[in-house]
Amino acid sequence: MTAAAHSSRPAHRGVASPGLKTVVFAMTGANSMATTYFFYYLYFYTQDQFRFGQLRNFELAALLGAVYAVFAFYAGRFAQRAGYFASLRLGLGLMIAAILLGSRTAALWQALALIVAANIGMCFTWPSLEGLVGEGETRARLRSLVGIYNTTWAVAGGLAYCTGGAMQKSWGRQSMFFVPAGLLFLEMIFSYWLEKQVNSQPSAARDNPAPPVAPDAERRASPVSARTFLRMAWLANPLATWPSRRLLPPFRPWPAVCSSVKRWRAWPAPSGFSPGRGPSCCCGYGRGGTTGFVSWPDRLR
């Protein structure tokens, strides 16, 4: 990279302090829990509120996956141009507004528009958090930080999935709107505080651009080019999003263990199967026995 091109690249202020990195990971966990509480239990809400069947929920999941695949790319570019904190707060504000307004609407098309708006807002948060974690880090530290980041959002999302049913049973259906909005609002407050702390860092720690993560020599030695790897990620992410969200409506948690809000009403059963006895997805238990994480009824085995 030439000096002119290097100097024209925006110098983002990375989070150099290990203590501040912990705050970024906490924000990552809050973001993961909020999005899981809302987007994963959204399909039960559309089923009960708008009488969505499996086909309609499948179409909704496909729509959200397609929107995310497109807007995540442009949201990442926006974060590079406008800064991580500005992009993060834009996404948080959009999600908070869409979720709170969605809790007050009973019209189908208004609800769908607000759900898509919240999905677009989420696209602005993840690239910004990833940038705050990795900006300005050395290659050796970047590997461990990315591992901690991935573990944080995965554990927080799993915790939200296992506690979402109990939350709605205790606090009602509207908790799937207000609890995520509250978590996102706390994340917004911490973003202002974190930006102030980052701005007070010494200039040498915040303004020096990070060295290239993959030097040209190493990139040429790799059997897979960076462009090919990036294209594979573009293909894999949307394809992984669609089936992962589609699996949620059939695998409704068992109320006795994960405390889902209601029992299934009319799970479409094939010929020879008992109605309403679909597979259960919970913490190792389900109607009919245990087969790992997903438990199937006796007659399905």
pLDDT digits (tens, 9 = 90+) for 63-91: 999 999 899 989 999 998 999 999 999 99
How many Å apart are CA 199 and CA 265, to the nearest integer? 54
33 has a pLDDT exceeding 50 = yes
Mind listing the domains of the chain with CATH numbers?
12-212+233-246 (1.20.1250.20), 250-301 (no CATH)
- Name the most confidently modeled range: 4-8, 9-13, 237-241, 252-256: 237-241
So what's the pLDDT on residue 144? 87
Contact 32, 187 (CB under 8 A): no
End-to-end alpha carbon distance in the chain:
59
94 has a pLDDT exceeding 80 = yes
How many Å apart are CA 254 and CA 285, to the nearest integer? 8
So what's the pLDDT on residue 140? 78
So what's the pLDDT on residue 229? 58
So what's the pLDDT on residue 135? 83
Using CA atoms, how far residue 269 sits from 149, 178, 252, in Å, is 41, 34, 15
Short-list 131, 157, 149, 156, CA closest to 248: 157
255 has a pLDDT exceeding 80 = no
pTM attached to this predicted model: 0.69
Contact 135, 146 (CB under 8 A): no
Give the number of C-alpha atoms closer than 13 A to the C-alpha of residue 101, restricted to the C-beta side: 18
Residue type, 210: A
How would residue 224 be classed by pLDDT, with cut points 50, 70 and 90?
A: low
> 293-298 contacts: CB < 8 A, separation 24 or more?
294/251, 295/254, 297/273
